[in-house]
Amino acid sequence: MSARLPFPEWMACVQERVEKALARHLPSAEAIPARLHRAMRYSCLNGGKRVRPLLAFASGEICAAPEEKLEIVACALEMIHAYSLVHDDLPCMDNDVLRRGRPTCHVEYGEATALLAGDALQTQAFLLLARESLGDPAVQLEMLRVLAHACGSLGMAGGQAIDLDAVGRALELPELELMHAMKTGALIRAAATLGALCGEGLPDGARQALDRFAKRAGLLFQVVDDILDCTASTATLGKTAGKDSAADKPSCVGLMGLERAREFAGQLREQAIESLASFGERARRLVELTDFIARRRF
Amino acid sequence: MSARLPFPEWMACVQERVEKALARHLPSAEAIPARLHRAMRYSCLNGGKRVRPLLAFASGEICAAPEEKLEIVACALEMIHAYSLVHDDLPCMDNDVLRRGRPTCHVEYGEATALLAGDALQTQAFLLLARESLGDPAVQLEMLRVLAHACGSLGMAGGQAIDLDAVGRALELPELELMHAMKTGALIRAAATLGALCGEGLPDGARQALDRFAKRAGLLFQVVDDILDCTASTATLGKTAGKDSAADKPSCVGLMGLERAREFAGQLREQAIESLASFGERARRLVELTDFIARRRF
């Protein structure tokens, strides 16, 4: 994808490419069991911002990563993300009925099928990352470890468990940051690392700098999410607005108020971009993506 | 493990070894989030027959596989199996309260934690298989593909979806066999393949013979399960007896009656053992294990 494309066009290109790749890498809607496969496709192929794929592609530009490989890791990341949304929306979790402007998976297909669709999407992500040729098998194993670590009990699933335990309980900022770092931050960091692993590799120092960036960008993403949950409408978000505060869930806005949450987001944006200084022009897409995350309205 | 040990002692050795390895390879009960980690350990470390680990160890003997590697694949298989049981027992699926003689995970920890524990157990299986050193990275990737293929929408999760759709509907034998082949057979076949992949490898013909064996052994396991569901007590099984027929679930006994189901099991046992002929004495444990599966009373 041309480095000269303006950011909105670049973003649209990546989104379209990932949508098409997901359609190819998910089981066909006709294959048996068709209902399960339709539910999997319904949950993945419904637009979405594709923040994790965008991050993988933008990180890939630092390491001259081939787009065919970035496409694979982008699909695996998005399948994991979709699985987590399907399960989070279930009645025993957030019990939500609206996602990306459409009925949630269990509303459309029933709870049992939604449970299995989430399960099978997680598996499909690992199958894809193990199946497709991504060059050196040792690096490919490392990619699998990065993804599994990010979404397991010490990452995304663990963050969700902390969130469950925290409902109705006042969290301090460090606790809240830990929850966000695990629940959404871990997969966002994995996206940056995986994008870089698709390319020529980074020396340790540069890899750490990229990870520092991704930590801050991940927290920024979540703080903006908290702000939007309070300030945007359900129609704009495509998901139920105000549900975190209604459910007495811990959030940055609840903890520090809207004004200070906005300041905090501004600081995180600056710190994230600072972490990229040593990459120079190669990090242009990452800087643009950070601005997009900071300014998004949906 | 000495090849000279009588089968019951060999089985006890493998079971104990796997129990200890699982305790090491699961996140500590003290690590945050502790409740999630306790639920994961509760669901894995509760005995069970460990049929898939036994099969991996027995197949490993054909290929002189080192026990340290077999232990890893056995743990990964058992984590996947435990995840599937936790999710199958949930209220939106089989809604079962008893498993291995104890309250099911959601009864003990609540539905939301059980959902996450199942999710995280699946991830932990892939993390383990990607993380531990198993020799040639290309073979390790193949192992990951075998496991992921076996438990995804074209394997275990898919079989569960077919089972859901089939409740209250009369299935013909071929349909029932397909459901069983996916729901339980796929992971049992994967156990045999993974055990062999831990060793020196098999030529294509031998690999196919082992897979033919595992297909038949997997179906045998399920037919015996159907028979026990009708004939054994809840106390003996450690799970709710008679629940498949009560739920009008498709089963071999429902389809062909108890007498013919027993004959069918006998044929499958013979066919499974026949598939092992070319391995000679190296397949002794597999033959013994087949007899154990055919004769088990719980």
Residue B248 lies in a domain: yes
Residue B275 clears pLDDT 80, i.e. is over it? yes
Task: Kindly report the nearest CA distance between residue B248 and chain A, in angstroms.
Answer: 17
Q: Do A131 and B145 touch (CB under 8 A)?
A: yes
Q: Which of B92, B107, B140 to mutate to test the interface with A (most CBs of A within 10 A)?
A: B92
* Cross-chain Cβ contact A122/B127 below 8 Å: no
Q: Do B40 and A153 count as a contact with CB atoms less than 8 A apart?
A: yes
Q: What is the 3-state secondary structure (H, E, C) of chain B?
A: CCCCCCHHHHHHHHHHHHHHHHHHHCCCCCCCCHHHHHHHHHHHCCCCCCHHHHHHHHHHHHHCCCHHHHHHHHHHHHHHHHHHHHHHCCCCCCCCCEECCEECHHHHHCHHHHHHHHHHHHHHHHHHHHHCCCCCHHHHHHHHHHHHHHHCCCCHHHHHHHHHHHCCCCCCHHHHHHHHHHHHHHHHHHHHHHHHHCCCCCCHHHHHHHHHHHHHHHHHHHHHHHHHHHHCCHHHHCCCCCHHHHCCCCCHHHHHHHHHHHHHHHHHHHHHHHCCHHHHHHHHHHHHHHHHHHHCCC
Distances (CA, A) of B272 to A113, B74, B263, B264, B290: 33, 21, 14, 12, 8
Q: Which residues of A touch B140 (CB under 8 A)?
A: 137, 141
- The better pLDDT of the pair A46, B281 is held by B281
Which positions in chain A touch B115 (Cβ < 8 Å)?
87, 90, 92-93, 115
Give CA–CA dist A91/B273, Å, rounded.
47
**Cβ–Cβ of B154/A116 closer than 8 Å?**
no
Residues A33, B120: C-beta atoms closer than 8 Å: no
With respect to residue B182, please indicate whether it lies within any of the assigned structural domains: yes
User: Which residue range(s) make up the domain with B23?
Assistant: 7-295
User: What value does the CA radius of gyration of chain A take, rounded to a whole number of Å?
Assistant: 18
- State pTM to two decimals: 0.95
User: What tens digit of pLDDT does each residue of A102-158 get?
Assistant: 999 999 999 999 999 999 999 999 999 999 889 899 999 999 999 999 999 999 999
| Minimum-distance CB partner of A116 among B31, B120, B161 | B161
Residues in chain A closer than 8 A to B137 (CB atoms)? 136-138, 140-141
Question: What does the pLDDT read at residue B2?
Answer: 60
Return the pLDDT at B252: 86
Of B278, B286, B270, the residue nearest B220 (C-alpha): B270
Confidence check: pLDDT of B90 > 70: yes
HEC string for B217-273? HHHHHHHHHHHHHHHCCHHHHCCCCCHHHHCCCCCHHHHHHHHHHHHHHHHHHHHHH
| Of the partner residues B91, B123, B145, the one whose CB lies closest to the CB of residue A122 | B123
Q: Residues 6 or more apart from B240 whose CB is under 8 A from it? A: B96, B97, B98, B234
Task: Calculate how close chain A gets to B109, using CA atoms only, in Å.
Answer: 12
Which of A123, A156, A249 is most worth mutating to test chain B (most B CB atoms within 10 A of its CB)?
Answer: A123
Give the CATH number for residue B166. 1.10.600.10
Return all residues near A107 (Cβ < 8 A) that are at least 6 apart: A97
**Over 80: is that where the pLDDT of B89 sits?**
yes
Q: In which residue ranges of chain A is pLDDT below 50?
A: none
Cβ neighbours of B151 in A, within 8 Å: 123
If one counts the domains in chain A, the total is 1
Q: What is the rounded average pLDDT of the residues B246-251?
A: 74
If residue A53 lies in a helix (H) or strand (E), which one and from where to where?
Answer: helix A51-60
At A64 the pLDDT is 95
Residue B1 domain-assigned (yes or no): no
Q: What angle do CA B65, B71, B77 make, to 5 degrees?
A: 110
d(CA A27, CA A40): 8
| pLDDT for the residue numbered A1 | 61
Q: Look at residue A185 and tell me if it is in a domain.
A: yes
Identify which of B113, B141, B152 has the shortest CB distance to residue A140: B141
Query: For B36, which residue in chain A has the nearest alpha carbon?
Result: A161
Which pLDDT score, from 0 to 100, does residue B3 have?
63
Q: What is the pLDDT of residues A181-203, one digit of tens each?
A: 999 999 999 999 999 999 988 99
Nearest to A157 among B31, B123, B131 (CB): B123
Residue to test with chain A: of B25, B88, B107, B127, most A Cβ within 10 A: B127
Alpha-carbon distance B17 to A298, whole Å?
A: 52
Confirm whether B2 is domain-assigned: no
CB contact (8 A) between residue A152 and residue B123: yes
Q: Does A43 reach chain B within 8 Å, measured CB to CB?
A: no
In a domain, A235, yes or no: yes
Phi, psi for A102 (deg, rounded to 5): -130, 165
Chain B: residue whose CA lies nearest to A183: B33
pLDDT at B286: 98
3-state secondary structure of A230: helix
List, in order, residues 6 or more apart from A62 with CB less than 8 Å away: A195, A196, A199, A202, A206, A210, A279, A282, A283, A286
> Is the per-residue pLDDT at B56 higher than 80?
yes
Query: Cβ–Cβ of A33/B158 closer than 8 Å?
Result: yes
If you average pLDDT over every residue of chain B, what do you get? 93
Interface predicted TM-score (ipTM) of this complex, two decimals: 0.95
Task: Considering only the beta carbons, identify the residue of A31, A119, A148 that sits closest to B87.
Answer: A119
Using a pLDDT cut of 70, give the percent of chain B over it. Answer: 96
Confidence of residue B201 (pLDDT cuts 50, 70, 90): confident
Which of A270-284, B9-23, B162-176, B265-279 has the lowest average pLDDT? Answer: B162-176
Determine, for residues B144 and A149 on separate chains, whether the beta-carbon distance falls below 8 Å: no
Total beta-carbon pairs less than 8 A apart between chain A and chain B: 150
Question: Looking at the domain assignment, is residue A260 inside a domain?
Answer: yes
Q: Which of B149, B158, B161 sits opposite A127 (nearest CB)?
A: B149
Quick one: tokens of B158? 């898919």
Interface subset of A 147-166, CB within 8 angstroms of B = 148-149, 151-154, 157-158, 160-162, 164-165
Given a cut of 80, whether residue B297 has pLDDT beyond it is no
Q: Is there a contact between A120 and B158 if contact means CB atoms under 8 Å apart?
A: yes
**Does residue A188 fall inside a structural domain?**
yes
A37 close contact with B: CB closer than 8 A = yes
Name the residue among A112, A119, A141 with its Cβ closest to that of B130: A141
A30 in contact with chain B, both atoms CB, cutoff 8 A: no
Query: Residues of B with CB below 8 A from A123's CB?
Result: 122, 148, 151-153, 157
